[in-house]
Amino acid sequence: MHHFHYAGPDLHCESVDLAAVAKLYGTPTYVYSATTIADNYRRLQQGLAGLDVQLCYAAKANSNLAVLKHLSNLGAAFDLVSGGELRRVLAAGGNVRQSVFAGVGKTEAEIKLALQNEIFAFHVESEPEMARINHVAGTLGVKAPISIRVNPDVDAKTHAKVTTGKSDNKFGIPLKYAAAAYEAAAKYPNLAIKGVQMHIGSQLTSIEPFVEAVQKLAPLAADLKARFGISYFSIGGGMGIIYRDALASGQAAWWESQPAETRPLTPESYGAALKPLLQPLGLKILLEHGRFLVGNAGVLLARVEHLKRGAGKNFLIVDAAMNDLVRPAMYDSYHEIVPLHRDSSRRALVADVVGPICESGDCFAKDRQLQEVGEGELIAFMSAGAYGHVMASRYNSRPLAAEVLVQGSSFELVNTRETFEHMIAGERVPAFLK
Ligand code: LLP
């Protein structure tokens, strides 16, 4: 469910006409719905009601300061993977003391920054990393709170590039070595064992892999509680969202029309399946969802440059490109594309929707059926709130897109479109070339 819908012929985010946003701030521009984020947050919380849950929003999905502040106001802490993300949470006034720090290659400087800001726990991914955290904590004269990321060797049945819980992925310590890793951790003078963590992948669309992984780790969690007095079990993030019927899935009627056997994963079904497995542990449960909270809360607005009719192929050339939204080029992912102004008298068009970047990979969709749109008209890429702007680059010297946050009938620019001067601000021509 989300708050993007047509009011008459015009696509709105909540009560805001998206064409008005494009007119004011230009394109390409990301637009996020604050109410959708809040609804997603509350649904996830309610889905797990009865458990002692702390939501640690995976900031990597969308780390715009306004999004972080909004989630922080709702009660979220954060799942962080870099010093940069930690500093963003500080800048947004978020709660680092309830946040966790993950990632396979935390630097000494990042560990120090996290300790100085009293991070809730580090999610440790290897034994050398444990030694490093112990060392940095020692230099600061503190004990570092840690949990081990355990790799349950479960197939998340998602895209290979976002699968993380198989034994051939770089993440975590294999389940069979986990007990020994905790023994090793207990011997370090500057480490304090706090919990256990897992994360098996992203954009999971069925509950079975979550269930399998929790079932695999639950005995270990119980054991660690008895031996080391751990207080929490983080079950990671990974809940998938609707990409194919993105617009329709904003309406309750769409969900009701889905046959029970193929109904997509919801916070309610996720909670119902996992609660009975988690409740007996008597541990605090951390959740690290990113995409579920913000993915369907964002769109990318773009303008049509040309409709190029080729030999047996049409190309809709738009002013957004793979540098703005890399997911289709990187993961072959599907983003629904809709016109900002719907006109049923228009013919249908089948076209490849492409950006202006000089490589064939700069393609958002192949042979996509759309309402015919022409030069200057506006379109939206749906479900672009997660892993959109955060993965943007300046390839082809294209400035980073603007970002706007909507709430009700209010909207504000939350990230100015990058200027050329800013883009080159750090670059220098060395003296020997002058
Ligand atoms: N926790 C850990 C340890 C993670 O590595 C991730 C995501 C999450 C939580 C959040 O997962 P989510 O709930 O958002 O699925 N760029 C890719 C997704 C990469 C996900 C990386 N890790 C994409 O655009 O699909």
Query: Looking at ligand 1, which atom is closest to the CA of residue 204?
Result: 15
Report residue 422 as tokens: 């800013």
154-168 average pLDDT score: 75
Query: Looking at ligand 1, which atom is closest to the CA of residue 123?
Result: 3
Ligand 1: distance of its center to the CA of 137 in Å? 28
Domains and CATH numbers, the chain: 34-290 (3.20.20.10), 296-423 (2.40.37.10)
Residue 99, pLDDT > 80, answer yes
- What pLDDT does residue 157 have? 78
Residue carrying structure tokens 């708050």:
3
Is-above-0.85 flag for pTM?
yes
Q: What is the mean pLDDT of the chain?
A: 96
Residue 165, pLDDT > 80, answer no
The answer to whether residues 291 and 246 touch, using CB atoms and an 8 Å cutoff, is no
Residue 160, pLDDT > 80, answer no
Query: Looking at ligand 1, which atom is closest to the CA of residue 386?
Result: 24
How far, in Å, are 100, 144, 323, 395, 430 from residue 54 at the CA level? 11, 20, 34, 38, 50
Task: For residue 147, list its beta bridge partners.
Answer: 123, 195
Q: Nearest 5 degrees, angle CA 297-CA 300-CA 306?
A: 155
Instruction: Give residue 262's pLDDT band: very low, low, confident or very high (50, 70, 90).
Output: confident
Ligand 1: distance of its center to the CA of 59 in Å? 9
Instruction: Give residue 171's pLDDT band: very low, low, confident or very high (50, 70, 90).
Output: confident
Q: For residue range 60-97, what is the model confidence (pLDDT) as tens digits?
A: 999 999 999 999 999 999 999 999 999 999 999 999 99
Q: For ligand 1, pick from 41, 57, 60, 169 the residue to mutate: most ligand atoms within 8 Å of CB.
A: 60
- What pLDDT does residue 398 have? 98
Ligand 1: distance of its center to the CA of 162 in Å? 7
**What letter would DSSP give residue 60?**
G
List the catalytic residues: 358
Instruction: Give residue 362's pLDDT band: very low, low, confident or very high (50, 70, 90).
Output: very high
Residue 167, pLDDT > 80, answer no
| Spatial separation of the C-alpha atoms in residues 189 and 228, rounded to whole Å | 14
Q: For residue range 278-319, what is the model confidence (pLDDT) as tens digits?
A: 999 999 999 999 999 999 999 999 999 999 998 889 999 999
- What pLDDT does residue 300 have? 99
Residue 128, pLDDT > 80, answer yes
